[in-house]
Structure 1
Amino acid sequence: MSVTKQKRVFVAGHRGMVGSAIVRQLENRDDIELVMRTSSELDLTNQKAVGEFFAEQGIDEVYLAAAKVGGIHANNTYPAEFIYQNLMIESNIIHAAHVNGVQNLLFLGSSCIYPKLAEQPMTESALLTGLLEETNEPYAISKIAGIKLCESYNRQYGRNYRSVMPTNLYGMNDNFHPANSHVIPAIMRRFHEAKLNGDKEVVVWGTGTPMREFLYVDDMAAASVHVMELDDETYQVNTQPMLSHINVGTGLDCTIREMAETMAKVVGFEGDIAFDTTKPDGTPRKLMDVSRLADLGWQYQVSLEEGLSVTYQWFLENQDSFRG
């Protein structure tokens, strides 16, 4: 009786929100052997260390979910770290994968790659058609570079390096730092602490009018595995050499005010919601056109309220240990 050889799959960034969700998708698969390293075990910004790791490990596939991420405040405050660390991580991993014969890789980007004033909903073809949003331009440029790295290795060497661009993600293992996190974890923590303190009001940055699309991270992980495992013919029919990335989202959006009201309901905060209009709003609207992914056979499953409820339960169970 023959035994099928397991694929050795490296999930870069397995402790992060997206990487850990991908691990949850793959960890019970009989055909996959997961390979994971913490940042203390492998510095992904170190080219020599990453090269040696790939040379030694016999990796078959890579999910490149490792990245330095943060919200508007973090992007504004640490632009050098955001562009340098992300460029180094993706360059080292993609190049080392190629040098060591890894044919299949999935790069995870971000919807911030699209122009600030891109036509809505944003299609994949909007890339590089206008100016980026100023507050996260360095991060966005690093993610655009990742897409182009994948395209370039595909075009020159025939690799199968694919890219997915998620909308705004949230979920278990998110960063709940009060200043350096994305909007959902920051507001969830703010509402939770306000409820505990008996506050009568919670202040949310901006006007509350920007439109945002939110995707639960386990949906993102399921989409990532779906795209990675599409056969070449199906994938290539739905992509083009210079348009290789695929949007991942719900195709639905809401205002920040509506999201905050849903958050208050989930957390159980019964006070008022105020908006600090001296703080930046960021991009007026960010909605992804996900028709391409739908044509490839995938749609989201988790509603915003359901996803927030699961995330809040995780938050309650992990308050003493969450990042930030």
Structure 2
Amino acid sequence: MTGTVSLPGAIHRVGIVGSGTMGAGLAEICGRAGLDVVVVASGPASVPAGLGRLVSSLDRAVTRGKLSEDDRDATLARVAFTTELDDLADRDLVMEAIRENEDQKSELFVALDKVVESPQAILASNTSSIPIMRLARVTSRPEQVVGLHFFNPVPVMPLVELIGSLLTGEHTLQRMTEFVGGSLGKTPIRSPDRAGFVVNSLLIPYLLSAIRMVESGFATAEVVDQGMTLGCSHPLGPLRLTDMIGLDVVAAIAESLQAEFREPQFTPPALLLRMVEGGLLGKKSGRGFYPYS
């Protein structure tokens, strides 16, 4: 278990907005790091669902020998679930992990700016594509707004993209570098504040190209994925990766990239848009480019 970094401005009390896959993952790594965690779910029905995700992930870690039962219980004791944003008033850091929608995230940041009391508290977004400036400018503390882009599954993936806007203070970036690398034991990389940041600027055109191959009949999903896993040593083919990320998330990121850069490579294929409209979102919905039980 990783200990909390004892430095000026160190983060001890963490708030998380969203109890889905990413929110529960963030709660797990913060709880395992010994931090005091409060998770705000979207409604009463989401509380047991979010807690269930957290418990299931911790149980898998115990089964695989990655975590002791005592540490599992200690982690759960550090994580509280609520439905009230006001319960985040005393937090040092609040990370949002709601759906990839700029209007909804902006509304949330307006609310968090009013709720979180400490003038030193940092507000962070787990957005995978939205420029941080657009979220920072709706608050009264733009110098303390950053992007912390974690990858799914959060407890496993070691990388975190750290994104500051033109208004983000260097002290804020230093605090977040210490938090990600020290408290959480992840590897932070800094990215300029542009849609898609580093990883998705490279990844999304690749995924869209794979979808276009299927859409045109050039190759099946299975053939495309075999080509990349067996021919290029990728651990996961692009269509299975799209299913894991969520087709709606891939489409939202592509649209954000297209809006910023106006380049054909970022245009979502019609097949992707129709699948999203039909609720074929990938693994989380039970069907995407592949069926899931």
Higher relative contact order (CA 8 A, sep 6+): 1
Q: TM-score range by the shorter chain?
A: 0.3 to 0.5
What is the TM-score when the length of structure 1 is the normalising length? 0.38
Whichever structure has more helix as a proportion of its residues is 2
